[in-house]
Amino acid sequence: MKGGMKPSIQAYNTPEKAADYHAGLQPGSIRDRMLQVTAQTLRDALPDGGRVLELGAGTGHLTRKILELNHFAEVLPTDGSEEMLSVARNSMPSVPFQLLDYFDPDWSQSFSGIRGVVSSLTFHYHPEKSRLFREIHALLPRGGVLVFADKIAPDHPLQASLFDYENARRWLKRHPLPEEVAEVAQKTEAWNRQSGKHLETASRLLNHLERAGFMAGQLWQEHNHAIFAAVRK
């Protein structure tokens, strides 16, 4: 991995963090619904199936939902964390999970024949979205599809307040001892800095996609989670 381990990978590259992340997906949660819609959108965008590359597969939550559709000729899930991949491989031993750091400029050179790229909750760690989308655009054929789900930044102060309130409410719901909302917000901000998050607004993400050569749109949003789909022109 060139240039050392990225903060976003290092933050999840422990057995404890990987296990916690894997166990954290609750049926019916926002994240669960988002992953289901992402998988279905990918299927609908590629009615003939084909070969699909997943970036930032983590412990395989989205991978499983895609495979359950039984629609694609091949699904190639990748992630930059060995510990996350270890959990994924134990959960789905027959799936060919691969180690891949898509922060490296030459990450796409080992792939060919890819009809679709999919990802969930990982692109917000990348500091150069424009470069990333150009790299994906170069990998796909004309008509190829990129579908990704991610957290987004608020467009205005009122939306930021609503996002912070909902984050705090959900955090408090999961923990037995109540804490002040401000303290929860501080913990969230500290974690964002530690893990190297670079959230952007939906409008900026769409602008990056269009400048990279995609026809793109936002298809779904709940709280600060959103799904985008883009077709290579």
Domain ranges of the chain: 7-153+199-232, 157-192
pTM attached to this predicted model:
0.85
Q: Looking at domain 7-153+199-232, which of 3.40.50.720, 3.30.420.40, 1.10.8.420, 3.40.50.150 is its CATH number?
A: 3.40.50.150
pLDDT for the residue 181: 52
Closest CA to 219 of 65, 42, 56: 42
Residue 52 phi/psi, 5-degree rounding, is -120, 135
pLDDT less than 70: residues of the chain: 1-5, 7, 156-196
Phi and psi (nearest 5°) for 116? -145, 145
pLDDT value of residue 1: 47
Distance separating alpha carbons of residues 114 and 139, to the nearest angstrom:
7
At residue 99, the pLDDT reads: 97
212: helix, strand or coil: helix
What pLDDT was estimated at residue 3?
47
Residue with structure tokens 């004309």?
Answer: 142
Strands 98-99 and 74-79: parallel
Cα dist from 206 to 6, 13, 44, 69, 228, whole Å: 25, 30, 20, 27, 8
- pLDDT for 157 equals 57
Alpha-carbon distances of 118 from 52, 63, 181, rounded to whole Å: 7, 10, 34
pLDDT recorded at residue 172? 52
Q: What is the pLDDT of residue 197?
A: 78
> Can you read off the two tokens belonging to residue 212?
């990279």
Which is it for strands 145-151 and 116-120: parallel, antiparallel or unpaired? Answer: parallel
Q: How far is CA 187 from CA 25, 49, 152, 164, 182, in A?
A: 20, 42, 18, 12, 9
Half-sphere exposure of 64 (CA within 13 A, CB side): 14
Q: Three-state SS for 227?
A: strand
Query: 179-206 burial string, b = 16+ CB within 10 Å, else e?
Result: eeeeebeeeeeeeeeebbbebbebeebb
